[in-house]
Structure 1
């Protein structure tokens, strides 16, 4: 009986850090979880600080888009500190404002006067972890919304 309890205690200690062994995969466009796996022998699944690129070293392959022919791209999602947003002006349809919404629909911040730059860095440092919406309002009345996850 003593050996049984020793074995049981050993197994409980072995699985006590099971959350470190869970690996999640997310859909890059929507941020939804698409896969969950238990990984034994994994040393670390999170991106190291070397994997996270600085904005100056981004390439076109790093930027995410709605579709391959879209004029708006962004990086990274999920975001930790800053979201880099880049767009191209097509047919004089400039972006008149950018609004940040929380999941309940409350406007947190509005950026205006971005029409001639073509890009912007949006700080997410002051926001808590969760889902946010970035809405781009065009001068001709169109709107596009990006779902961003803050970690």
Structure 2
């Protein structure tokens, strides 16, 4: 089997483009903040030729003496994400919660749960291992594979999983080369989506 050499070029830009007031959920307070517009760009090169572009845009909300109060990140796109994107992949809040007074009797999560969804190798041929971290015991998990047309082509897992890191393997020997998306569904809820490349 021929070795695949994929080189990834990464660039980013960031600048302050607004200031104002942020109202945090769960009565955590209202703060003056600045908004940092942050764009990331990835270029995937194979044998010296670009085969794919990937872009993300994030807004960081910074509060003096608190730090990052909130982050909103777009879904991954093949073209630069506009400033006015309206579909978010990640929303996280209150990273440095020790600097914000919180009622000890309240019970809520201050950060978006990270299921550490990833696959290796990527690109791959013909199989790849998809791993994910389960934080609730006996969670019912399905890993759904989609093509670029948004059609579901495979379901993996479909079982209850225990706490910790779990894995499923996708053998794509009968599938065509190209870009695929895999989605992690936990207890009926979509929690994360990633992209992978099948290269034969």
- The TM-score, its normalising length taken from structure 1, stands at 0.52
SS in 2 for 1:88: strand
Q: What is the RMSD computed on CA atoms of the aligned residues? A: 3.4
Q: Which residue of 2 aligns with 1:124?
A: 172
**Higher normalized strand content (fraction of residues):** 2
Higher RCO (CA-CA < 8 Å; seq separation 6+)? 1
Distance 1:81 1:118, change over 3 A: same
Q: Which residue of 2 aligns with 1:113?
A: 159
Q: Distance in 2 between matches of 1:107 and 1:138?
A: 17
Superposition map of 1:7-18 within 5 A = none
Structure 2, unaligned runs of 5 or more: 11-40, 50-113
Distance apart, 1:36 and its partner CA:
7.9
Equivalent pair of 1:79/1:124 in contact (CA under 8 Å):
no
Equivalent pair of 2:117/2:131 in contact (CA under 8 Å):
yes
For these two proteins, the number of residue pairs brought into alignment is: 98
SS in 2 for 1:131: strand
Q: Distance in 2 between matches of 1:72 and 1:120?
A: 11
Superposition map of 1:42-61 within 5 A = none
Q: Distance in 2 between matches of 1:27 and 1:125?
A: 29
Q: Which residue of 2 aligns with 1:96?
A: 141
Q: Which residue of 2 aligns with 1:26?
A: 8
**Higher normalized helix content (fraction of residues):** 1
Structure 1, unaligned runs of 5 or more: 1-22, 39-68
Equivalent pair of 1:102/1:133 in contact (CA under 8 Å):
yes
Distance apart, 1:32 and its partner CA:
3.7
Q: Distance in 2 between matches of 1:77 and 1:35?
A: 12
- The TM-score, its normalising length taken from structure 2, stands at 0.40
**Structure index of larger Rg:** 1
